[in-house]
Amino acid sequence: MNNQINEILYHYNEEGYEGYDLSEVQLLRNKDIDRIEKLKSLLDNDNQYIAYQAMLILLAWAIPEGFQQLDRFISEKWDEKESFESHRIHSEDNVYDVITDALYISTMNGKTEEELYPYIKHFLSIYGNKLFESNLKDFLLKKNCRPLLKEIEQAIQDALQSKRYYQASQLFPVLVNYDKNSFNQYVDIFNSLINEDDRISYNIDEAQAIKTKKSI
């Protein structure tokens, strides 16, 4: 990666802080027009990883070309050709969870959750087969995603079917957040799976807290 591309993707300088970090660039308040144009040009870079990282910034900044690139990323199944966000512990690609975080940031720049529903629906539809760490869960909890209740429950079922037990439990608090009656429907299922992954207990506790809060 040459120095110019490195500057476009990673350099930030705002409010007295300066460094090189794509996640900080995504959060910049002042979006330089010239930089936006340079990021758009990187979408056609021969190196798909560079194109992908440019997309993450443009998505976060709510620039239309970023979403056009995401449509292409999904339709052409880039994630099946190479790994973009190899998980630090697991061998799987966490790319769609990272993309979800960019979508979340885009809501700070004018996008509404309703505009993003098609993408979130797609991510829920592949939830049983792809790795999602925590960003999708956070999006579903922090934004109004009640209209996606059916898709959320189906994602839990798909993850259970695929034996992604902890990942399934990640959506348990989300489900209860929108339908408190679902707690009793799923709590025994997840309690029975704690021996498979003790982290499931944290999601059960979170779902219980949400149910209690909503019942007050």
Instruction: Supply the pLDDT for residue 61.
Output: 98
What's the confidence (pLDDT) of residue 16?
A: 82
Of the candidates 119, 123, 94, 87, the residue with the CA atom closest to the CA atom of residue 106: 119
110-167 pLDDT, tens per residue?
Answer: 999 999 999 999 999 999 999 999 999 999 999 999 999 999 999 999 999 999 999 9
